[in-house]
Amino acid sequence: MKKRRTELVVLSDIHLGTYGCHAGELLSYLNSVQPEILVLNGDIIDVWQFRKRYFPKEHLQVIKKILDMAAKGTKVYYITGNHDEMFRKFTDLHIGNIHVVNKLVLDLDGKKAWIFHGDVFDASIQHAKWIAKLGGWGYELLIRVNTLLNAALLFMGKERYSLSKKIKNSVKKAVKYIDDFEQVAADLAIDNGYKYVVCGHIHQPQMIRKVNDKGTCLYLNSGDWIENLTALEYSRKQWELYRFKNDKLSPFFADQNLKEMDYKDLLAAITITPRL
Decide if 276 is inside a domain: no
259 within some domain: yes
For 47-70, the pLDDT digits (tens) are 866 666 778 899 999 999 999 999
How far apart, in whole angstroms, are the C-alpha atoms of residue 90 and residue 87? 5
Quote the pLDDT of residue 100: 96
**Structural domain boundaries, residue 256:** 4-271
Structure letter (DSSP) for residue 95: E
pLDDT greater than 90 at residue 78: yes
pLDDT above 90 as % of the chain? 54
Distance of alpha carbon 271 from alpha carbon 123, whole angstroms: 35
- For residue 96, is it within any domain? yes
pLDDT 10s digits, 15-34: 999 888 999 999 999 999 99
Under a CB-based contact definition with an 8 Å cutoff, are residues 270 and 60 in contact? yes
Number of other CB atoms surrounding residue 12 within 10 Å: 31
CA distances from residue 247 to 33, 108, 173, 241 in whole angstroms, order as listed:
13, 26, 33, 12
Kindly report the average pLDDT of the chain as a whole number.
83
Q: What whole-number percentage of the chain has pLDDT above 70?
A: 76
* More reliable by pLDDT, 257 or 169: 257
Look at 58 and 269; give whichever has higher pLDDT: 58
Residue 197 vs residues 3, 35, 103, 131: alpha-carbon distances, Å: 27, 20, 11, 28
The answer to whether residue 200 scores a pLDDT higher than 70 is: yes
Q: Coil, strand, or helix at residue 13?
A: coil
Number of domains the chain is built from: 1
What does the pLDDT read at residue 260?
77
What CATH code is carried by the domain that includes residue 86? 3.60.21.10
What is the DSSP track for 190-247? HHTT-SEEEE-SS---EEEEEEETTEEEEEEE---TTTT-EEEEEETTEEEEEEGGGS
| Range of lowest pLDDT (2-16, 80-94, 193-207, 212-226) | 80-94
Task: Specify the DSSP element, H or E, that contains 5.
Answer: strand 4-11
Identify whether 80 is part of a domain.
yes
- 150: exposed, middle or buried (Cβ count in 10 Å: 0-12, 13-18, 19+): middle
What is the pTM (predicted TM-score) of this model?
0.79
**pLDDT reading at 140 higher than 60:** no
From 24-33, 84-93, 101-110, 125-134, the region with the lowest mean pLDDT: 125-134
Distance CA 169, CA 175 (A): 6
Closest residue by Cα to residue 252 from 59, 95, 46? 59
What's residue 82's pLDDT? 87
How far is it between the farthest Cα atoms of the chain? 57
Say how far apart CA 199 and CA 41 lie, in whole Å.
7
